[in-house]
Amino acid sequence: MSEQRLLILVGSYSEAADNGIHTYSLDAQNGKLQKLGELAGLKNPTFLNVDASNSRLYSIAEGVSEQGERTAEAVAIAYNANTGELQETSRALGLTASACHVLRDTDNRFLLLSSYGGGRVGLVGLKDDGEIGEIRDIKQHEGRSVNVERQQEPHPHSAAFSPDGRYVFVPDLGIDRIRTYSIDVGQGTLKFHHDNELHPGAGPRHMVFHPGGQFAYVINELDSTITAFSYNAEEGRLSTIETVSTLPADYTGESDCAEIAVSEDGKFLYGSNRGHDSIAVYGIDAATGKLALVQHVSVEGAHPRHFALMPGGQLLLVANRDTNNITVFRVERDTGRLQFTGHSETVSKPVCIVSAQLDN
């Protein structure tokens, strides 16, 4: 791995008075984490997006409107790439409902916030200096699906840009659809492009594109599956290839899915199971995009809400929310298999992990 030390930034469930964002240095050789800093003042900064080229972090935080309703704030935070020190630089209303995910476009013009609870997505402008601007557009989703407990209303859970940045894909757990938008940069608005319907009761949550651009994968929270798609970049449309289970065939307990990631070389896919408390590892067929199970490995904790592959692809970090720990795994590059390093760092209710290079 070219980077010997990485900066790890962790978002968590927390009250505003408590430290909700934490920074660590990660020794890329042995997988050991060392605490650097933390930041208070944000309620539930549960998802993060890092702009490494400008040493800036974007976070969501929970707010309250004058009417007492939950809102989402978009927050810009400067980080010191040598010490890991954090300093909030701006914040503004990001969405008229609580948010669960934040995404930045590649040209640093917009943030896209997804609201599970409010059933909507919001587009927030970024100023030329990267600070938080105003809400530019909000799109409310409508509909329901078959799960009587979780799908009586729309629940957008995340967003993912196409490799060329022309389209943004929003998995909506509540209506079993991936909704595709384009961004009208001049008007600062989201324009509906296309819907992909998943099988009833899937509950699509997070999505990732293959680095080659020809495939995409969505992890379905409610029925513990992953759906593979081929991607037509010219038309901005997905076509279903197959759906596979994330659980062992003999597992009968309760479980649901959370995060999904593809290795930098495009050979392997990873998905997290909460309940079975594992990472499922698959090989990716380079010609067809189909998945072949490689391994289920314990996350050495409970409720793996999120995980992240580190730059260089040799380490994977897991945020185990219910056991308040981050665990570090070595990645076997040839097989994709994971092996626990023995390193586990205590942190309260971790939800999201992102990384950047730490100056040496």
Report the b/e string of 170-209 with b at 16+ CB within 10 A: bbbbbbbbbbbbbbeeeebebeebbebebeeebbbbbbbb
Question: Sheet of 132-140: strands edge to edge?
Answer: 101-104, 110-115, 120-126, 132-140
- Residue 254 predicted with pLDDT over 70: yes
According to the model, what pLDDT value does residue 359 have?
72
Q: Render pLDDT for 114-128 as a digit per residue (tens, 0 to 9).
A: 999 999 999 999 999
Whole-angstrom Cα distance, residue 242 to residue 44?
Answer: 35
- Would you place residue 189 in the very low, low, confident or very high pLDDT band (cuts 50, 70, 90)? very high
Tell me whether residue 357 is exposed, middle or buried, using C-beta atoms within 10 angstroms of its C-beta: 0 to 12, 13 to 18, 19 or more: middle
Tell me whether residue 84 is exposed, middle or buried, using C-beta atoms within 10 angstroms of its C-beta: 0 to 12, 13 to 18, 19 or more: buried
* Dihedral of the alpha carbons of 342, 348, 349, 350, in degrees to the nearest 10: -60
Mean pLDDT of 318-328: 98
Q: Give CA separation, 327 vs 25, 62, 210, 265, 342, in Å.
A: 14, 27, 25, 23, 8
Q: Residue 22 has which token pair? A: 């934490």
According to the model, what pLDDT value does residue 8 have?
98
Q: Render pLDDT for 171-184 as a digit per residue (tens, 0 to 9).
A: 999 999 999 999 99
- Residue 105 predicted with pLDDT over 90: yes
According to the model, what pLDDT value does residue 355 have?
97
Compute the C-alpha angle 217/223/229, nearest 5°: 20
- Residue 260 predicted with pLDDT over 90: yes
Amino acid at 111: L
SS3 state at 34: strand
- Residue 220 predicted with pLDDT over 80: yes
* Dihedral of the alpha carbons of 107, 124, 211, 180, in degrees to the nearest 10: -120
Q: What is the mean pLDDT of the chain?
A: 97
- Neighbouring residues of 136: CB distance < 8 A, sequence distance ≥ 6: 110, 123, 124, 125, 188, 189
In percent, the amount of the chain with pLDDT more than 90 equals 96
- Residue 252 predicted with pLDDT over 90: yes
- Would you place residue 360 in the very low, low, confident or very high pLDDT band (cuts 50, 70, 90)? low
What secondary structure does DSSP assign to 161-221, as a single string? E-TTSSEEEEEETTTTEEEEEEEETTTTEEEEEEEEEPPTT--EEEEEE-TTSSEEEEEET
In terms of Cα–Cα distance, which of 248, 202, 194, 258 is closest to 225?
202
- Would you place residue 333 in the very low, low, confident or very high pLDDT band (cuts 50, 70, 90)? very high
Please state the φ and ψ torsions of residue 81, each to the nearest 5 degrees. -75, 0
- Residue 258 predicted with pLDDT over 70: yes
Q: Residue 118 has which token pair? A: 């409010």
Whole-angstrom Cα distance, residue 138 to residue 6?
Answer: 35
- Would you place residue 2 in the very low, low, confident or very high pLDDT band (cuts 50, 70, 90)? very low
Q: Residue 187 has which token pair? A: 């008007």
- Residue 293 predicted with pLDDT over 70: yes
- Residue 357 predicted with pLDDT over 90: no
